[in-house]
């Protein structure tokens, strides 16, 4: 089997690159389609790393075999980028096809023109990023496509597994819109209890989970719990702040956030970013310097782990991210020929992972998202919870934060079973080892060393069960000078260069409206698990996958890091403008906080917009050079200011232009396109939450199952695995 990359979008190209990182041969036909996007050499260099470029035959039969995996791109109602004379119908019937697009191959938007700016608007992140009194703000231009690429690689692995189990080829339809909506952590959980997420600039719902200036730049602080705030107070030399009523708990710190800024700025303003981070990390506070693409190349953690690669064919110049999902490490001995699979996992029909058991030692966001993917794909996910780790209140509560977390639990832990074990006791650890001895996968997202301290580390568990696929998902990886550091999504966002490139022109770096490193880490964790299963099918042995969320997120910055390595400079923050040659922006429309995102890729788009709008100035701008982007933006802004965002987007799309209304959470929930594709699912009456972005027939996923009550399956699961009742820990 080989991977044939016929895609011409970032999502498909990155997914194919990820599959190549697993050892599969990836090929592209020469002349098979335009670069991504047209004229952007470095993006193409990054996406094509490790791929073979072969002569393009006259028909697919000269390149594509029935056992192959094929990535395709769909836009404006048709497959695009195929070599001349090729059609999708001519591909071999047995091959697995994964089609990526902005909006999908079905639904009202299937004929619309997609692209990187439309992806930001349609995926719900544009509307919640930026200052409340300024235009909504994008992050790095192609970030949404990269997130969809991780998702498409998961789809590919699942489809390959389905074919291996059933002999049936799969056709998967995956949109960037739904891929982005599926990685909102709590946007729709909050909406379910009546809280609408909006733009809040640099502020998060928790304080001080924030970026603040220092002597030579900016520092990202990761402080969420009261204990972390106590450590922060000691670190900045102000232990008395821990007893200050203004900062007594999370609600008080949020209410007095400006006063807290003043207290922290005294410490930060006297230190460089590196000095401040060193002190904070020494006191156990999650912190990172906000860096750009050039500075991230000097990160000691990434250097230690050998993350960087040199692009081929450029004379040894330049560096770019390597594989964010590293190969598994074999730790156990040869599989025991007499080992009897317990066969105790729940079977969920023909789903790809039905009959496999996942032992889930995860918490917070990244780890639970990884195991939720495995559960949606049919695995029997046994979630190991510790006594007292969460409450299970009855009825409703007036505490909206608690209500949000309950809805979030129903979203993040659907299709799982909950087992209660106290790993601080010998009985609890023994039960966990017995479960691991029979499991197919184990996923954990503790800091490195925690599982080993319980006797449940990868070396011990893979020796106990050589067929076990063990996935560790930590902030920075299990080795290197940063391995022991605490991390939160915003600190990884700062260290990766994503935050350093997000912001209004001339302004401070800004976080995304909802932090993404945990979500992309979860996608990479699921991908590592699926890759490990495919490796095990071939070799009979499991292995350990050491996944670093920093590496996973830095991989979304490939072309910008490569460019910075060649220029020796960090790019400035440019707001919503393009670094890739187009005229684009987010423009105000009629109504309260109403906006439209418009991207014009080149001269022809400018001329077409002039025809549709009657803006003669745009036609003149298209014919003269150098192009005056500010003048073009002013003309577009004047046109959209008095018009409805939805009707204007439809008008421009009818003219073949990339345009999309900036949608808020409630608008997305009511969107006709998403309803037609059945994206949202009802977890229980009143809870409408994102389902799965994978569309196929037969389905590869079932995202409709319930989340477990605390410890509800303890007796059932341990009994199934033959563990006596005395080993079962109860609350």
Tell me the pLDDT tens digit for each residue of 110-157.
Answer: 999 999 999 999 999 999 999 999 999 999 999 999 999 999 999 999
Q: In the predicted model, is pLDDT for residue 700 greater than 60?
A: yes
**The pLDDT value given to residue 391:** 66
**The pLDDT value given to residue 603:** 87
What is the DSSP track for 619-647? HHHHHSSS--HHHHHHHHHHHHTTS-HHH
Q: What is the CATH number of domain 583-663?
A: 3.30.1540.10
Given a contact cutoff of 8 angstroms between Cβ atoms, the answer to whether 515 and 487 are in contact is no
**Residue 440 phi/psi, 5° resolution?**
-90, -35
Q: Work out the average pLDDT over 219-244.
A: 96
**In 3-state terms, what secondary structure has residue 380?**
strand
d(C-alpha 687, C-alpha 175), whole Å: 23
Compute the CA torsion angle 682, 685, 686, 690 (nearest 10 deg): -10
Of 200, 341, 324, 214, residue with least CA distance to 265:
214
**The pLDDT value given to residue 36:** 56
**The pLDDT value given to residue 395:** 54
**In 3-state terms, what secondary structure has residue 210?**
strand
Cis peptide before 603 (omega within 30 of 0): no
- Mean of pLDDT over the chain: 92
Given a contact cutoff of 8 angstroms between Cβ atoms, the answer to whether 156 and 1 are in contact is no
The 8-class DSSP code of residue 659 comes to: E
Q: Work out the average pLDDT over 349-370.
A: 94
Residue 404 — very low, low, confident or very high, per pLDDT cuts 50/70/90? Answer: confident
Q: Poorest-confidence range of 14-18, 391-395, 415-419, 535-539?
A: 391-395
Q: In the predicted model, is pLDDT for residue 403 greater than 90?
A: no
Question: Based on C-alpha coordinates, what's the Rg of the chain?
Answer: 25
d(C-alpha 474, C-alpha 730), whole Å: 28
**Residue 726 phi/psi, 5° resolution?**
-60, -20
Q: Poorest-confidence range of 90-94, 614-618, 636-640?
A: 614-618
d(C-alpha 38, C-alpha 171), whole Å: 27
Residue 397 — very low, low, confident or very high, per pLDDT cuts 50/70/90? Answer: low
**Residue 383 phi/psi, 5° resolution?**
-90, 115
Domain boundaries, the chain: 3-101+139-182, 324-483+504-557+701-727, 583-663
Give Cβ neighbours of residue 579 (< 8 Å, ≥ 6 apart): 141, 560, 571
**The pLDDT value given to residue 33:** 55
Joined tokens for residue 334: 């040869």
Residue 713 — very low, low, confident or very high, per pLDDT cuts 50/70/90? Answer: very high
Residue percentage of the chain with pLDDT more than 90:
82
The pLDDT tens digits of the residues spanning 426-453 come to: 999 999 999 999 999 999 999 999 999 9
SS (H, E, C) 409-432: HHHHCCCEEEEECCCCCHHHHHHH
The pLDDT tens digits of the residues spanning 277-319 come to: 999 999 999 999 999 999 999 999 999 999 999 998 776 789 9
d(C-alpha 441, C-alpha 429), whole Å: 17
Residue 32 — very low, low, confident or very high, per pLDDT cuts 50/70/90? Answer: low
The CATH architecture assigned to 324-483+504-557+701-727 reads: 3-Layer(aba) Sandwich (3.40)
Residue 730 — very low, low, confident or very high, per pLDDT cuts 50/70/90? Answer: very low
Burial profile 180-189: b = 16 or more Cβ within 10 angstroms, e = fewer: bbbbbbbbbb
Please identify which residue in the block is written with the tokens 């106990």. Answer: 464
**The pLDDT value given to residue 161:** 97
**The pLDDT value given to residue 580:** 83
Give Cβ neighbours of residue 161 (< 8 Å, ≥ 6 apart): 352, 353, 530, 533, 534
pTM: 0.96
d(C-alpha 280, C-alpha 296), whole Å: 20
Residue 249 — very low, low, confident or very high, per pLDDT cuts 50/70/90? Answer: very high
Residue 729 — very low, low, confident or very high, per pLDDT cuts 50/70/90? Answer: very low
d(C-alpha 602, C-alpha 625), whole Å: 12
Q: Angle at Cα 33 formed by Cα 28 and Cα 34, nearest 5°?
A: 120
Residue percentage of the chain with pLDDT more than 70:
94
Please identify which residue in the block is written with the tokens 């003669």. Answer: 616
Q: In the predicted model, is pLDDT for residue 484 greater than 90?
A: yes
CA distances from residue 78 to 9, 53, 111, 151, 597 in whole angstroms, order as listed: 14, 24, 8, 21, 23
Given a contact cutoff of 8 angstroms between Cβ atoms, the answer to whether 344 and 157 are in contact is no
d(C-alpha 500, C-alpha 482), whole Å: 20
Give Cβ neighbours of residue 669 (< 8 Å, ≥ 6 apart): 188, 191, 680, 688
Contacts 24+ apart (CB under 8 A), 60-63: 60/86, 60/90, 60/91, 60/92, 61/90, 61/92, 63/4, 63/27, 63/29
| HSE, side-chain direction, 13 A CA sphere, residue 496 | 35
Active-site position among 518, 535, 546, 605: 518
Q: In the predicted model, is pLDDT for residue 344 greater than 70?
A: no
d(C-alpha 625, C-alpha 122), whole Å: 32
Joined tokens for residue 152: 């498409």
**Residue 183 phi/psi, 5° resolution?**
-105, 15
Of 430, 450, 482, residue with least CA distance to 361:
450
d(C-alpha 494, C-alpha 140), whole Å: 13
**The pLDDT value given to residue 398:** 67
Give Cβ neighbours of residue 100 (< 8 Å, ≥ 6 apart): 7, 9, 11, 12, 15, 71, 72, 73, 74, 148, 149, 152, 174, 175, 176
Given a contact cutoff of 8 angstroms between Cβ atoms, the answer to whether 35 and 81 are in contact is no
d(C-alpha 128, C-alpha 111), whole Å: 26
The CATH architecture assigned to 3-101+139-182 reads: 3-Layer(aba) Sandwich (3.40)
Domains 3-101+139-182 and 324-483+504-557+701-727 fall in the same CATH topology: yes
Q: Poorest-confidence range of 56-70, 132-146, 390-404?
A: 390-404
**In 3-state terms, what secondary structure has residue 407?**
helix
* 687 given a catalytic annotation: no
Of 437, 445, 439, 393, residue with least CA distance to 417:
439
Give Cβ neighbours of residue 610 (< 8 Å, ≥ 6 apart): 616, 617, 618, 619, 622
């Amino acid at each position: 089997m080989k991977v044939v990359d016929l895609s011409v979008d970032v999502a498909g190209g990155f997914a194919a690159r990820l599959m190549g990182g697993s050892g599969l041969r990836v090929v592209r036909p020469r002349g098979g389609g335009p670069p991504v996007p047209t004229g952007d050499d470095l993006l193409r260099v990054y996406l094509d790393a490790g791929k073979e470029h072969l002569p393009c035959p006259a028909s697919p039969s000269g390149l594509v075999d029935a056992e192959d995996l094929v990535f395709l791109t769909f836009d404006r109602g048709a497959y695009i980028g195929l070599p001349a004379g090729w059609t999708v119908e001519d591909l071999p019937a047995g091959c697995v096809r994964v089609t990526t697009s902005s909006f999908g191959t079905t639904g009202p938007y299937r004929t619309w023109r997609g692209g990187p700016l439309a992806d930001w608007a349609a995926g719900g992140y544009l509307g919640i990023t930026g200052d409340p009194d300024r235009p909504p703000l994008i992050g790095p231009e192609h970030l949404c496509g990269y997130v969809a690429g991780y998702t498409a690689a998961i789809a590919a692995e699942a489809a390959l597994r389905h074919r291996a189990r059933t002999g049936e080829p799969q056709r998967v339809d995956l949109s960037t819109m739904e891929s982005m909506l599926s990685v909102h952590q709590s946007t729709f959980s909050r909406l379910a209890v009546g809280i609408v997420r909006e733009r809040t600039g640099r502020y998060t719902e928790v304080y001080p989970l924030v970026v603040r200036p220092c002597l030579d730049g900016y520092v990202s602080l990761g402080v969420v719990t009261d204990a972390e705030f106590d450590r922060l107070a000691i670190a900045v030399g102000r232990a008395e702040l821990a007893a200050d009523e203004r900062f007594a708990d999370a609600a008080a710190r949020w209410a007095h956030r400006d006063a807290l800024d003043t207290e922290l700025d005294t410490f930060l303003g006297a230190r460089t970013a590196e000095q401040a981070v060193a002190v904070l990390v020494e006191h156990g506070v999650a912190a990172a310097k906000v860096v750009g693409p050039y500075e991230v190349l000097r990160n000691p953690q990434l250097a230690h782990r050998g993350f960087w690669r040199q692009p081929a064919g450029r004379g040894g110049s330049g560096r770019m991210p390597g594989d964010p999902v590293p190969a598994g490490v074999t730790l156990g001995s040869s599989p025991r020929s007499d080992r009897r699979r317990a066969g105790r996992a729940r079977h969920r029909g023909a789903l790809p992972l039905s009959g496999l058991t996942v032992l889930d030692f995860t918490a917070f966001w990244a780890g639970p998202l990884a195991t939720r993917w495995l559960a949606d794909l049919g695995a029997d996910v046994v979630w190991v919870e510790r006594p007292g780790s969460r409450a299970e209140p009855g009825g409703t509560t007036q505490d909206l934060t608690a209500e949000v977390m309950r809805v979030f639990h129903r979203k993040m832990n659907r299709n799982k079973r909950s087992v209660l074990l106290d790993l601080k006791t010998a009985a609890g650890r023994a039960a966990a080892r017995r479960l691991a001895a029979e499991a197919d996968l184990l996923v954990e997202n503790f800091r490195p060393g925690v599982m080993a301290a319980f006797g449940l580390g990868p070396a011990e568990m893979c020796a106990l069960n050589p067929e076990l696929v063990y996935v560790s998902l930590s902030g920075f990886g299990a080795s290197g000078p940063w391995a022991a550091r605490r991390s939160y999504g915003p600190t990884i966002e700062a260290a990766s260069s994503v935050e350093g490139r997000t912001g209004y022109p001339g302004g401070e770096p800004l976080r995304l409206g909802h932090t993404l490193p945990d979500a992309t880490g979860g996608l990479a964790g699921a991908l590592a698990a699926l890759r490990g299963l495919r490796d095990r099918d071939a070799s009979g042995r499991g292995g350990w996958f050491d996944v670093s969320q920093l590496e996973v997120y830095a991989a979304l910055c490939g072309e910008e890091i490569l460019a910075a390595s060649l220029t020796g400079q960090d790019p400035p923050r440019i707001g919503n403008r393009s670094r890739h040659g187009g005229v684009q922006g987010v423009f105000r429309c009629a109504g309260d906080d109403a906006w439209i995102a418009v991207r014009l890729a080149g001269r022809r788009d400018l001329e077409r917009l002039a025809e549709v709008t009657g803006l003669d100035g745009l036609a003149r701008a298209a014919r003269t050079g150098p192009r005056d982007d500010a003048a073009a933006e002013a003309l577009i802004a004047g046109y959209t200011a008095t018009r409805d965002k939805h009707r204007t987007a439809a008008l421009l799309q009818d003219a073949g232009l990339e345009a999309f209304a900036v949608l808020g959470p409630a608008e997305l929930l009511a969107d006709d396109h998403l309803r037609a594709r059945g994206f949202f699912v009802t977890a229980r009456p009143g809870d409408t939450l994102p389902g799965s972005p994978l569309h196929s027939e037969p389905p590869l996923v079932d995202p409709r199952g319930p989340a477990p009550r605390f410890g509800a399956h303890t007796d059932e699961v341990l009994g199934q695995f033959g563990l006596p009742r005395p080993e079962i820990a109860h609350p």
